[in-house]
Structure 1
Amino acid sequence: MIYFLQISDFKTFALTTLVILVIVVVRYFVAAGIFHLIFYQNRSKKWQGRKVNQQPYKKGQFQREIKWSIAASLIFAIAGTLTIWLWQNGYTRIYEGFDWTDIWYMPVSLVMAMFLHETYYYWVHKGMHHPKVFKHVHKIHHESLISSPWTAFSFHPLEAILEAIILPIILIVLPMHPIVILMHLVIMTISSVINHLDVEIYPRNFENHWLGKWIIGATHHSLHHKDFNTNYGLYFTFWDKWMTTENLNFGRLFRQKSR
């Protein structure tokens, strides 16, 4: 959180947005860049064999993704500034005190926030695939038929707005500590990059592990970019499993790529 700026006019709103924009863009470039260097510049047979799609990327794809990602980052920054304004004016349930007797609540609130985010995202994501909506909102993201680390934030501005509004809504209804909010944002960024990596980093048999079977990775989300009509989840697979929208080829493909 940005404590030193009291948002009271357009100037402080714009300055706060600029500060958050720099943070979001740096976070995006660091996360996507590190994964790009590790897995795309690494020529070892191990990681090449774990690449879900072996076809080459379209010319200029990374540059296009970065362009849209920076535009989306501006919207995320505006949403972040709006969230700070809501907090400063008492409209959120963000709390700053730290009581060791209540330390159990911090991980609980993180799980609750991620569950709410997952539920919101699944149904909004599925809605964005409606033919009348897709071409206006979600098509930009799916121009990356083979995803990359740079695809993580590559959204049309309308989709970026839909992505951004959920966190302020969660903070209006769910008490969360700033440390937990920061953890949520970090998880959100890293998981998005991993899911779009198109290189399966999770170990063999992870799709059958008691925890792993509920976690989305590169193979799972790569199938969504290929067929559009399955695997709508964000962090977890439970909505796809419950609504029978999980791709039936996932297990086979995961076993093939995680050997």
Structure 2
Amino acid sequence: MIQITSWFTLSLTALLFFIAIFGRYVLFSLAFWWLFANGKNDQKTRQTIQVRPVKTGQQWREIGWSVLTSLIFTAIASGVMVAYQHGYTKIYTDIHAYGLVWYPVSIGLVLLIHETYYYWLHRWMHRPGVYQWVHKVHHDSLTTSPWTAFSFHPLESTLQALVIPALTFVLPLHSTAVGLILIIMTFSGAINHLNTEIYPHAFDRHWLGRWLIGATHHSLHHSQFRYNFGLYFTFWDKWMDTESPDFHRLFTQKSKKDPV
């Protein structure tokens, strides 16, 4: 890791973080948009979930908000780096320091905590008086695309960015585990906002797939607003009865195999 010893190295570190964060967003969004969401063949068109046209200029607006989101994520990541170098965090670099088993366990634990934080934050952001100031920017994209994944108002970006950095102060996390968690977050965000179902037929009832959020699940949140508040997993929506009653029907329709 870069040793931050001056404002120059702090600025360099921040620049590298921004390149990594915004670059990761662009890489995943561009790849998923090109592969699945640009509607250039009949199969993609049949799997499109929301058929309303994307608003004029929507993707450029989303990219603009995503630049601001990436800057906020960069500022918080830079603060965590400074805290790490002063010994305040529990980030470690020796893979054997906490045992090899802890490595995947720590990643799973962070994802579960993040899911819980986000679910309840998300429901709060839909409250009258909060929604307009915090969450409306994201919902301006009624029909989503991978570019929607980082399109947040700065207030929402800040609230979303707090939980994983906070966990580095209380949970031992290998430096590469932190990086992997952030990659999973961006990867999941791109998939969830595709507006094209890429999971296989009946995956919504599979022992694993029933717990994972995909494009159909999250697209219903953007069209119905009062259902499907999860981030990675469906368990809070199932437990709190906030999963859309239309989900399984729509998933079956959009993931249906071509007739032979």
* Residue 136 of structure 1, CA deviation: 0.4
* Residue 228 of structure 1, CA deviation: 1.0
Which piece of structure 1 moves more, 247-256 or 48-57?
Answer: 48-57
Structure 2 residue matching 1:77: 3-state secondary structure = helix
Q: Specify the alignment match of 2:125 in structure 1.
A: 128
Structure 2 residue matching 1:132: 3-state secondary structure = coil
Q: Specify the alignment match of 1:117 in structure 2.
A: 114
Per-residue CA distance 1:123-156 (angstroms, 9 max, x = gap)? 1111011111000010000000011110000000
Per-residue CA distance 1:166-219 (angstroms, 9 max, x = gap)? 111111111111111111011000000000010000000101000100000000
How does the TM-score come out when normalised to structure 1? Answer: 0.95
% identical aligned pairs: 46
Are positions 1:74 and 2:71 aligned together? yes
Alpha carbons of structure 1 residues 123 and 9: separation in structure 2 relative to 1, 3 Å: farther
Alpha carbons of structure 1 residues 104 and 54: separation in structure 2 relative to 1, 3 Å: same
CA–CA separation in structure 1 for the residues paired with 2:124 and 2:6: 36
* Residue 224 of structure 1, CA deviation: 0.4
Per-residue CA distance 1:59-79 (angstroms, 9 max, x = gap)? 000010000001110001111
Large movers: runs of 4+ above 6 Å: none
Partner residue of 1:83 out of 80, 83, 86? 80
CA–CA separation in structure 2 for the residues paired with 1:213 and 1:95: 34
CA–CA separation in structure 1 for the residues paired with 2:128 and 2:7: 38
Structure 2 residue matching 1:131: 3-state secondary structure = coil
Are positions 1:243 and 2:240 aligned together? yes
For the Cα contact (< 8 Å) 1:5–1:16, is it kept in 2? no
Q: What are the within-5 Å matches in structure 2 for residues 131-210 of structure 1?
A: 131-210=128-207
CA–CA separation in structure 2 for the residues paired with 1:108 and 1:204: 30
Partner residue of 2:215 out of 209, 215, 218? 218
CA–CA separation in structure 2 for the residues paired with 1:35 and 1:99: 35
* Residue 44 of structure 1, CA deviation: 2.3
Partner residue of 1:5 out of 3, 6, 9? 3
CA–CA separation in structure 1 for the residues paired with 2:8 and 2:167: 27
Per-residue CA distance 1:14-60 (angstroms, 9 max, x = gap)? 33212211111111111100111112345222221111012211100
Q: Which amino acid aligns with 1:93?
A: K
Q: Which amino acid aligns with 2:19?
A: V
Between the two proteins, the alignment pairs up a number of residues equal to: 256
What CA RMSD, in Å, does the superposition of the two structures yield over aligned residues? 1.4
